[in-house]
Structure 1
Amino acid sequence: MKLAITTMGTTLDDAVDPRFGRATGLLIVDTTTGAATPLAVPAAHAVQGAGLAAAEALVKAGAKALLTGAVGPKAARALEAAGIAVYQGLEGQSARAALERFNAGALTPENAPRAMGHAPGGAIGHAPGGAIAGHEG
């Protein structure tokens, strides 16, 4: 089976990126062979639609599961419609550790979107209700 992992780099030793559509990197991992192939994040710097573009890239890559920190509502709907199981809340560990937990059956799929607020380092994300955290208006 192929699965995708959002990463802060291009290897399994990099940390899981807490973001999906704007992740620093994506890895496609073949769970049968253990081979990990970097995949470009298609719209990481787009004003909108980054999550949908990333979901489409996973479908084209043949991924059946996603290991990540969080997905937004539009991406969550697209991934669910494509039959891709989503495993969230995995930031703060290496992609390899997340993969090992997946392979051991220690993760539970969670296709519902997660609200995003300030990430470590003060990055700005989406707050509940779709407002942009850290911005007034």
Structure 2
Amino acid sequence: MKKELDRKFKSKNIKPTAMRQLVLQILIEEKTAISLPELEQKFENADRATLYRTLKTFQENQLIHSIEDGTGSRKYALCEDFCTCEPEYLHIHFSCNKCGKTYCLKDSPIPQPDLPDGFEFSNANFVIKGICSNCKV
């Protein structure tokens, strides 16, 4: 795991502090997007501001992306190694109405809209809501 963390930090030019390593390890282990409050619960004595700054650094360096899934709490998920968070890498997310988990559907790109002349596309948020396979059982 340490080699994977180091590789990810190096590829995104991020200094690997102890807190950043711990947060990245959680993001790698999670199979769903995670909110700041959920991340806080995983650390007993971590400062909320430090966790927020860590997430902000990760996002600014395109290691993670944020998702507004309609729950009122922004969630964060690991980007693919090749991701630059440009429109061509944007993908659909799935938010479970039952458990509240949000999944990246990385194989489902957000369709590029046909915008009127003079309009410029910069970002999109596409969330499908329903029941995930874990909750459907």
Give the alignment's TM-score, normalised by structure 2: 0.32
* Structure ranking higher in helix proportion: 2
Give the alignment's TM-score, normalised by structure 1: 0.32
